[in-house]
Structure 1
Amino acid sequence: MAGTIWHCHIAVSLDGKIARPDGSVDDWLAADHPAEDFGFEAFLAGVDAILMGRGTYDAIRRFGEWPYPGKPSFVLTSRPLEDAPPGVEPRAGDPAAITAELEARGCRRVWVEGGGQLIRSMIAVGKLDRLEMAVIPVILGDGIPLFPPGTGELKLRLLRCETRAKGALHLVYERLDRPSAAA
């Protein structure tokens, strides 16, 4: 594939939630479904940069130590980042301009970490090429949706579907209008 790949690797409940209303995931995700069961460490090693929304950034900061040292990270926000870890930069404005900046920096694979508002924006500007999901067999009922209201249409093709421990699924989709590549 030529150009930058915008790759969302995310966990989601059966009812399409990425977190509880307060942004927490620890009680339904981390204990029973470790990230490495879904190839996360290898995935993270293969990305050049991380793009996340402010809510995701704030949720990660509540965990304590920054989990992505040495990985350039960009936070889409209109507010300053107090005591941001090294390599973490705020970005305000148009997602298309921010994606153009990362492409100009030579980023070949960018992790679109979330949350739902950022994912919606990336779909709107045509910059979500791969959607990789850990589908966790729990219904949260209330929470933060992966695709909030107003998300535009995106047609995908399934590249991979694998079962994981305790009934979880590992799904990998690619944008339909993008030339297929090895998953």
Structure 2
Amino acid sequence: MVETVWHCNVAASLDGKIARPDGGVDDWLAAEYPAENFGFDAFLADAGAILMGRATYDALRRLGDWPYPGKPTIVVTTRPLPDPPPAVEARSGDMAGVAGELEGRGHRRVWIAGGGRVIRSMIAIGKFDVLEMALIPTVLGEGIPLFPPGTGGLDLRLVKCEAKARGALHLVYERVA
């Protein structure tokens, strides 16, 4: 059986926010710091599946066309998904069960896309192996935290730190065994 790597790839402000309070990122992230500059296309090609929360899903749907066509995606939600894109499924309940389902499908790498509550849940069940982030040199003040209150401890070691345009950093951490 293939061992699954649980890989969170995210952008965050210096104060640890992944979005504005309304979920928006366009004014501080998308235009100035395109994901392609941080190796996102290669990362996405290597990810076998995506795991995300409902707020992240809803924010992506507001942008228009689904950005990950054909990529198996599980949205953690208690509400039905009206007219989801192909390969997008809703799941509720126990995160360990959701993780087990993805592992059972044989995915080598699963992208933990967020938001913070999904990240917190995956840390809690020990399914968080890699944190890859674009650290953006801005302070949002208010916003959605990468690690919300109640997130358990996690020891990481830095394996990559690369300076990018306009003072951003591309960081990769791995969980300490």
Q: Above 0.5 in TM-score?
A: yes
Give the letter for the 1:27 counterpart: D
Give the deviation of 1:83 after TM superposition: 1.0
Q: 1: CA distance between counterparts of 2:48 and 2:64?
A: 23
In the alignment, structure 1 residue 71 sits paired with structure 2 residue 39 = no
Q: 1: CA distance between counterparts of 2:122 and 2:148?
A: 12
| TM-score (ref. length: structure 2) | 0.99
Structure 1 spans left out of the alignment, 5+ residues: 178-183
In the alignment, structure 1 residue 166 sits paired with structure 2 residue 166 = yes
The aligned runs of 1:22-61 (5 Å cut-off) are: 22-61=22-61
Percent of aligned positions that are identical: 69
Structure 1's consecutive aligned runs of 4 or more residues displaced over 6 angstroms after TM superposition are none
| TM-score (ref. length: structure 1) | 0.95
The aligned runs of 1:73-92 (5 Å cut-off) are: 73-92=73-92
How big is the alpha-carbon RMSD for the aligned residues of Structure 1 and Structure 2?
Answer: 0.6
Structure 2 spans left out of the alignment, 5+ residues: none
Give the letter for the 2:4 counterpart: T
SS at match of 2:58: helix
Could you say which residue in structure 2 is the equivalent of 1:116?
A: 116
Could you say which residue in structure 1 is the equivalent of 2:5?
A: 5
Could you say which residue in structure 1 is the equivalent of 2:106?
A: 106
SS at match of 2:133: strand
SS at match of 2:84: coil
Give a deviation string over 1:75-105, Cα, whole Å, max 9, x none.
0000000111111000001110000011011
Give the letter for the 2:71 counterpart: K
Q: 1: CA distance between counterparts of 2:94 and 2:171?
A: 29
How many aligned positions are there? 176
Give the letter for the 1:6 counterpart: W
